[in-house]
Structure 1
Amino acid sequence: MNGSIQITEAALASLIGLTAHEIPGVVGMAPSNLKEGLSRVLGRANVSDGVVISRDGAKYVADLYVVVAYGVSIPTVARNIVERVEHTVKTQAGIDLGAARVHAVGVQRV
């Protein structure tokens, strides 16, 4: 096979966002910046909201900005997010993340 496969940062962010939404205790994702917040207010939210992909040398780093359910253990939810995101990115995209960092930016009753 002579071709190559490239996975864009946008596709990676979408994969990570979808994965994070599956974790019990995650209510949703939070805007990571003003531009994203304005897009959400204007009705253009998507699955990669709250996910910021950056590079640390040759590795990707994912920062996830989440809102968790009131009454859950935030450290447990964060650990579950990191484990599931790292596993999903490895198995579905073939990428080893340099780090997955969870930022709990809100708590909400569900």
Structure 2
Amino acid sequence: MPVPLYEAKAEFFRMLGHPVRIRVLELLQDGPAPVRDLLTAIEIEPSSLSQQLAILRRSGIVTATRTGSTVVYELTGGDVAELLGAARRVLSVLAAGRQDLLDELRGAEAGR
């Protein structure tokens, strides 16, 4: 029995649901990067990064290429960058909405 699309989407978003994985994807938007550069940018233990990269690789959202002892990761397509951009826009709107509410609440408190 095939998995319903909404369940597949939920699983996809669960896969994205870790700060390190999101940060890796953001870094890879600029192009392929070796693990050492990702480690420098993210500042976590190599084993933790390796675990998160394995999840991204299994999902098919990134690919890894080994050249000698260097492993380079890259996004499999531009849609990931578009998704991250959309998330940024949604969060900006939500944050702006919260700021408006906060300003309104502060104004109401000042008017007492």
Q: Do the two structures share a fold, i.e. TM-score over 0.5?
A: no
Higher helix share: 2
TM-score by length of 2: 0.26
Q: Which structure would you say has the larger RCO, counting Cα contacts within 8 Å and 6 or more residues apart? A: 1
Of the two, which has the highest radius of gyration? 2
